[in-house]
Amino acid sequence: MKVIVTGGAGFIGSAVARYIIENTIDEVLVIDKLTYAGNLESLNDVWTNERFSFKQIDICDRQALDNIILSYTPDIIMHLAAESHVDRSIDNPSSFIETNIIGTYTLLESSLAYWRKLDKIRQSTFRFHHISTDEVYGDLHGTTDLFTEKTPYSPSSPYSASKASSDHLVRAWHRTFGLPTVITNCSNNYGPYHFPEKLIPLMILNALEGKPLPVYGNGQQIRDWLYVEDHARALYLVATKAKVGENYNIGGHNERKNIDVVNLICELLEEFVPNKPNNIQFYKDLITYVTDRPGHDQRYAIDSSKIYQDLEWKPKETFESGMRKTVHWYLNNKIWCEHIKDGSYVRLRQGIIN
């Protein structure tokens, strides 16, 4: 098959692209606008593969989308392009509205126009797979409930509101126009190639430099953590096996308080890198509590039983095994990290494209 992955130079998108190239015989075309979070070095392992290709495209550009979709003739479009950082959505909601809502609408329209031109057989096998977040469901604080596929939407941040909007658009294009869609909502991902502004890589890299480890509020916020390679495997399974119109929650079965995540990182670094910077005695001494962000949800937790029952997917990694792999990866890929920290990855990716 031929698969388009939007946002494929980002954290989860690049994992999906790598998974497909390394584990299937399918072709992959990554399209990405290459905003700050798009890093072509995350695709180094597949860049020279004859089944892989890349185009720099903004999903809000209808003409560019039409041209590339018509020329590539995909069997599947996996839509991961999105602004995704909650703090940035609080500081600048407009870019989230533009990419996550207008961009999804534009991609849906382009995909619908393409799908309508296919013959009946290819129409029946085509899939538009929209990848979303559990944050659309809101906050589970004060309950022992889990998010299910039937949980009402109640987003808290501009980010989650924009993703909720995009989910509704996808459902509407399926219901109204017949576009064959599937939707997945995932819990917090972690693992290799995660942009350093996010919690886990930020803590690892700050600790290695002896910098403060900033924890919001009291650190009691609970998240369900999903190893990114487990997620990529689940996404491909849904895109190729799920029935049209279905939606699936994908979680890691790993509820952890933020402060416990940070403490585990400190423990692993004590084991892997006992020689500490700045004469600190313990990595955990760097933990610093900072003012909580506005509207911060206290708990997310996913019930993944549907995807297990229907598609027999479950995560391979426990949180402990996945975190060991993650910390090892950052220790062994310092050049990737340095290129992001000094901004040179932006210049380097232009050299790769040109």
271 catalytic per annotation: no
Task: Give residues with Cβ within 8 angstroms of 267, minimum separation 6.
Answer: none
- Picking from 277, 281, 272, 262, the residue whose alpha carbon sits closest to that of residue 210 is 277
Q: Which of 41, 134, 229, 303 is catalytic?
A: 134
Phi and psi at 335, nearest 5°, equal: -65, -45
Q: Which of 19, 105, 137, 159 is catalytic?
A: 159
Task: Give residues with Cβ within 8 angstroms of 354, minimum separation 6.
Answer: none
- Are 37 and 10 in contact, with CB atoms under 8 Å apart? yes
310 catalytic per annotation: no
DSSP 321: H
134 catalytic per annotation: yes
Residue reference for tokens 């549907």: 306
CA atoms within 13 A on the CB side of 8: 26
Q: Which of 135, 167, 229, 297 is catalytic?
A: 135
Helices (H), 86-241: 86-91, 93-96, 104-116, 120-125, 158-177, 199-208, 228-241
The residues assigned a catalytic role are: 134-135, 159
